[in-house]
Amino acid sequence: MQTIQEYIATHKNRFIEELIDLLKIPSVSADTAYSQDVLNTADAIMESLKKAGCDKVELCETPGYPIVYGEKIIDKSLPTVLVYGHYDVQPADPIDLWDSPPFSPVIKKTAIHPEGAIFARGACDDKGQMYMHVKALEYMTSQGNLPCNVKFMIEGEEEVGSESLAWFVPRNTEKLANDVILISDTGMIANDIPSITTGLRGLSYVEVEVTGPNRDLHSGLYGGAVANPINILSKMIASLHDENNHITIPGFYDKVEELSREERDEMAKAPFSLEEYKKALDIDAVYGEKDYTTNERNSIRPTLDVNGIWGGYTGEGAKTVIASKAYAKISMRLVPNQNWEEITELFKSHFESIAPAGVKVKVTPHHGGQGYVTPIDNIGYQAASKAYQETFGVTPIPQRSGGSIPIVALFEQELKSKTILMGFGLNSDAIHSPNEHFGVWNYLKGIETIPYFYKYFTELSK
């Protein structure tokens, strides 16, 4: 029997090639032009699960893209790990900012990744991180040392709100029954500072439309005399934060958990250099809610960001037009205890109430999800912590993430089990951005660490 380290040494080139093949399929779930590619990716994942040793693999139909399900049940009396991941990716726009085509993966060395990183849309989020689990399973089944049962549930709509998964999970609670859920769709602090995400923010994502006059107008003849939807939208957006960058929506903070000074002091121990943070983003100052640090602002505090805005003439040159309509996409990151549907309703009422006479406002909720916390005394957390200690040689740091995986709260509600977020990506991996990449070292380190999680989780479950 080979150790995981020996197995990786033998097969690492193939592991990389297989991931590259997967990254070549542009599985952009947000754009229907890619729907066949999304389906083809699901097929490829099915094949890979079969090859990795799953006994039963199936494509589960949903109202949207199918969910790939696979399982290997070795003994019903043993614990069951449910692996969740997603095979869809973010849109690649803006394409012209990519140094190489987003769906033609290339391996390049960077300062942080001296052993090379794979550059492609989805390299880290989440094809690379999801595929680590497939390869870890391949190792365990090939060597006959899988210590427990395993189920895979890989969806194709994570980047557009996981609606079909939310439909699927409550209808398949028996099939999905498990003792712990394992996800690699987050990051860690640094390659020498592993961390485990213990908290996720919730999300409420809405689109707003402001309509002024019933048609585009000449700005000379009408300028100054009618409400300009772009000016009004800007004003409404601006009013959503006060001078301390608190969000002004009434009731928004009512259920926000206030951390104690002790907890905040504990968090503040995570290594963080504000200078390096600013330098990496090329900004001369950070910006955010008064009386909170950068790491608090993006983890334990709720936020409101405009993700897109458009209206009027946006082509070359000048056009003196007052647009009839202006639009924005706005998302709010929520903290545990904030209910996303309630927050969406608060946003909608407030936004409609601040519209001045002269415009009409429409708020359309896109999607959302609850925040989530895993306590560090949970045996899943402890098994993960021991696994990292094996392969990184240090104890990982528990960390609240600013991101959202709304489905995690749903898992807890429907499947009654806790989720362990073992992420191996880095903040600098540019997920959702041009030039997304995933370190080869990180990819292989994930494959190496995962089998230890199975081992310790099974032992701690006894």
Site for a copy of itself in 149-178 (CB under 8 A): 159-161
Which span (81-89, 172-180, 345-353, 400-408) binds a copy of itself, by CB under 8 A? 400-408
Indicate which single residue of 403, 423, 439, 451 sits in contact with a copy of itself (rule: CB under 8 A): 403
Indicate which single residue of 434, 441, 459, 461 sits in contact with a copy of itself (rule: CB under 8 A): 434
Which span (75-83, 142-150, 173-181, 426-434) binds a copy of itself, by CB under 8 A? 426-434
Residue 446: C-alpha distances to residues 48, 112, 324, 368 (Å) = 17, 17, 51, 29
Indicate which single residue of 331, 370, 417, 442 sits in contact with a copy of itself (rule: CB under 8 A): 331
How many residues bind a copy of itself (CB under 8 A)? The answer is: 102
Cα separation, 385 vs 184, in Å, equals: 14
Site string for a copy of itself, 360-399 (x = CB under 8 A): ------xx--------------------------------
- Tokens found for residue 136: 């870890």
Find the catalytic residue in 126, 138, 155, 158: 158
Indicate which single residue of 114, 251, 356, 375 sits in contact with a copy of itself (rule: CB under 8 A): 356
Indicate which single residue of 82, 134, 148, 217 sits in contact with a copy of itself (rule: CB under 8 A): 217
Burial of 1 (0-12, 13-18, 19+ CB in 10 A): exposed
Smallest separation (angstroms) from a copy of itself to the CB of 314: 4
Residue 336: C-alpha distances to residues 302, 340, 403 (Å) = 9, 10, 12
Chain centroid to Cα 116, Å, comes to 23
Cα separation, 282 vs 14, in Å, equals: 37
Smallest separation (angstroms) from a copy of itself to the CB of 374: 17
Q: Report the residue number, 135 or 367, with the smaller CB distance to a copy of itself.
A: 367
- Does residue 90 touch a copy of itself according to CB under 8 A? yes
Cα separation, 73 vs 80, in Å, equals: 8
Which parts of 271-310 interact with a copy of itself (CB under 8 A)? 281-289, 294-295, 297-298, 301-310
Strand partners, 325: 211
DSSP state for residue 187 in the 8-state scheme: B
Which span (55-63, 140-148, 233-241, 408-416) binds a copy of itself, by CB under 8 A? 233-241
**Any long-range contacts for 235-240 (C-beta under 8 Å, 24+ apart)?**
236/208, 236/210, 236/351, 236/354, 236/355, 236/361, 237/306, 237/309, 237/328, 237/330, 239/354, 240/304
Cα separation, 337 vs 334, in Å, equals: 8
Indicate which single residue of 113, 135, 201, 418 sits in contact with a copy of itself (rule: CB under 8 A): 201
Q: Report the residue number, 101 or 288, with the smaller CB distance to a copy of itself.
A: 288
Find the catalytic residue in 18, 37, 71, 88: 88
Determine the angle formed by the axes of helices 35-52 and 4-23, rounding to 10 degrees. 160
Smallest separation (angstroms) from a copy of itself to the CB of 214: 4
Catalytic residue list: 88, 158
